[in-house]
Amino acid sequence: MRRKIAVVSLLIVLIALLTGCSNINQPINQQSPGIWSHYFVYPLSEFIIYMAHLFGNSYGMSIIVATLIVRLVLLPLMAKQVKSSKAMQELQPRIKALQEKYSSKDQKTMKKLQEEQMKLFQEEHVNPLAGCLPILIQMPILFAFYQAIMRTKEIKTQSFLWFQLGSPDPYYILPILAALTTFLQQKIMMGRIGNTNPQMAMMMYVFPVMIAFMAVAFPSALALYWVVGNIFMIFQTYIIYEKKDDGKEKADTGGARKR
């Protein structure tokens, strides 16, 4: 768990440093300098503008469609995350047994515990960091969305439903929806995995609050991206786990018939 948090934190710092090198107030165009602006922000900005033209110049619809496309691209990675999370959860009793066996806090014992845990992961073909992969890929996309919104005049000045895409939601509806859908998505995921880790349970309540505070300050377009993405992930979680549960049920039924 600590290793995952460390990896994600390191990525956030690196992206923040990278994006900090570009001027957030400078309009994005093909001549914008810097790797981040040229290869991340500008293509996303152009794609959103192109999709908006297809939907009658509706940039809100464009962001929704762009979000769904991004989520569909990430779907195989999310399925891998589900598989990894489930595998890690199934290994928890054995990991706990190792922790009890090597409970001493001296350096030699702790090193032995790490070696035994790594050996267990290798034997079961489980990568403890695999669950971080979707987050690692999502963070650059989130930063790119933010800069594309702030640096693209067409997006920044357009309205959708009751809010202006380039400004925070004046009625706080999107921040509330962002927090609720984040909580619901995490709760469903933990319920399906059967995760009883107290740290994860705490994050299930802390993370939505963090998202709500961010959504209050950030442009509504970014909150819209987050809400649509969460709704997609809620349905995605049901679909992925339903398939896995059906497969497991069929396997158990087949095994029972053979007996």
- What would the pLDDT profile of 17-48 be if each residue is shown by its tens digit? 444 445 666 778 787 777 788 888 888 889 88
Three-state secondary structure of 207-250: HHHHHHHHHHHCCHHHHHHHHHHHHHHHHHHHHHHHHHHHHHHH
Name which residue leads in pLDDT, 37 or 176.
176
| More reliable by pLDDT, 121 or 104 | 121
* Predicted local confidence at residue 176, as pLDDT: 92
| Integer Cα distance of 153 and 164 in angstroms | 12
- Closest by CA position to 82, among listed 244, 215, 209, 204: 244
| Overall residue count recorded for the chain in this entry | 259
DSSP for 7-42? Answer: HHHHHHHHHHHHHHTS-TTSPP-TT--SHHIIIIIH
Q: What gap in Å lies between CA 256 and CA 173, rounded to an integer?
A: 51
Do the beta carbons of residue 58 and residue 224 sit within 8 Å? no
Alpha carbon 158 to chain centroid, angstroms: 27
pTM score, two decimals? 0.69
Q: N- to C-terminal Cα distance for the chain?
A: 40
For 116-164, how does the pLDDT look when each residue is reduced to its tens digit (9 = 90+)? 888 888 887 777 666 566 666 667 777 787 788 778 887 777 888 888 8
- CA 211 to chain CA centroid, Å, is 12
The SS3 assignment for 128 reads: coil
pLDDT score at 21: 47
Encoding tokens for residue 98? 């190792």
Dump pLDDT digits (tens) for 215-247. 888 888 888 988 998 898 888 777 766 655 555
Q: Which pLDDT does position 177 carry in this prediction?
A: 92
Residue 207 CB burial class (10 angstroms; 0-12, 13-18, ≥19): middle
Which residue in 241, 242, 247, 258 sits closest to 83, CA to CA? Answer: 241
